[in-house]
Amino acid sequence: MMNVQSFPGAALHSEERAREVDHPSSPVARFGVDQPLRLDCGVDLAPFQIAYQTYGRLNADRSNAILIFHALTGDQHVANIHPVTGKAGWWETMVGPGRPLDTDRYFIICSNVIGGCMGSTGPASTNPATGKLWGLDFPLITIPDMVRAQAMLIDRLGIETLFCVVGGSMGGMQALQCTAAYPDRVFSALAVACSTRHSAQNIAFHELGRQAVMADPDWRGGRYFEHGADPHRGLGVARMAAHITYLSDAALHRKFGRRMQDRDLPTFSFDADFQVESYLRYQGSSFVERFDANSYLYLTRAMDYFDIAADHKGVLAEAFRDIKTRFCVVSFTSDWLFPTAEARAIVHALNASSARVSFAEIETDKGHDAFLLDVPEFFEISRAFLHSAGLARGLSRAR
């Protein structure tokens, strides 16, 4: 009767997920011991690998490359069928022929971040020094670490300058970090539903999720894989809690209200009587099919540590001083995870550094997840920004 933490789909794709960790179906860039990734925690990570996908074609002068940074629970499969779940890519609303990120015009790159679990080295990967999975022996990583690794990937692909970097949420954090760290390598940037540092409230929600994972008896101190276990109950609850923050009260009311799930009267039990309960349980169940629990801990921690201004004596504008990159910053009125006030702070800092920046606040009740959904205003703003940047870049076929 009570199945709030059962998540029956957890083992459905376990073999496929395990295979994708070390031997992904997407292309892989491997870096040997002679090419270590210097992490902010002071560790040199080597060897390591980055799994990625590309769409479209790189033009002759290599000037049309766009790097997409994925959000917390995303991966490199932005516009293709996911090899584990069999579902469509997570940003097919934005990426593809004729879409704002037009694969007939641009060369699109998206990689799985370091610390992820879909082919890039992370806690679910095999530690070459021991032959066992890293688990919590994997060093803590940061947003700047992720960006440095992806800069190495761009080098490997022979691309000197990116036409644009694009990302929402954690992806937007990476996009901003990329422009601050590599200002001469980024012509334009589209930063969506993000900020330059995590708020105390966001850190608190992440801690709630991490504690849910670690409280699961099957977590086994992060060595669950050695016991044939999987803390899918705790990870599912963490996903449920996080998913609430991605929506708005108005969106929840519009989608579900207080409607019952397949019944007219309450069961007087702890079953999913309400549609919204059933929806959240589904989100938890589908998430644990494709994601590693330890990776969730690492990536949420990386977001918590992020603070661009901290490296510039607390002055955000100093991070973008004299930058030539063209920016477009987008927020959504109902996004309470990364509210418009934080987007405006980015714009003010860019203005103070004399950067070229446009800003749009889009009215919608779809919450933080609006950048992943069908929001025509967002599509048109993105398309117009890339069109303008393409003209300034001198890209052929820009129109």
Active-site residue set: 169, 335, 368
Residue that is written with structure tokens 């002055």 in the block: 315
SS3 52: strand
Instruction: Report d(CA 391, CA 324) in Å as an integer.
Output: 16
Strands (E) in the chain, as ranges, are 28-31, 37-38, 44-45, 48-55, 65-69, 107-111, 162-168, 186-192, 326-332, 356-362
SS3 180: helix
Instruction: Report d(CA 164, CA 175) in Å as an integer.
Output: 9
Instruction: Report d(CA 103, CA 110) in Å as an integer.
Output: 13
DSSP state of 333: T
The answer to whether 40 touches 144, Cβ cutoff 8 Å, is yes
DSSP state of 385: H
Query: Which structure tokens are listed for 398?
Result: 């820009």
Q: How far apart are the first and last CA of the chain?
A: 58
Residue 351 CA neighbour count, 13 Å, CB half: 9
Contacts (Cβ under 8 Å, ≥6 apart) of 62: 158, 159, 160
How many other C-beta atoms are found inside a 10 Å radius of the C-beta of residue 153? 21
Residue 310 CA neighbour count, 13 Å, CB half: 10
> Which residues share a beta bridge with 276?
none
The answer to whether 284 touches 4, Cβ cutoff 8 Å, is no
Side chain identity at 180, as an amino acid letter?
A
The answer to whether 371 touches 192, Cβ cutoff 8 Å, is yes
The answer to whether 56 touches 103, Cβ cutoff 8 Å, is yes
> Which residues share a beta bridge with 50?
29
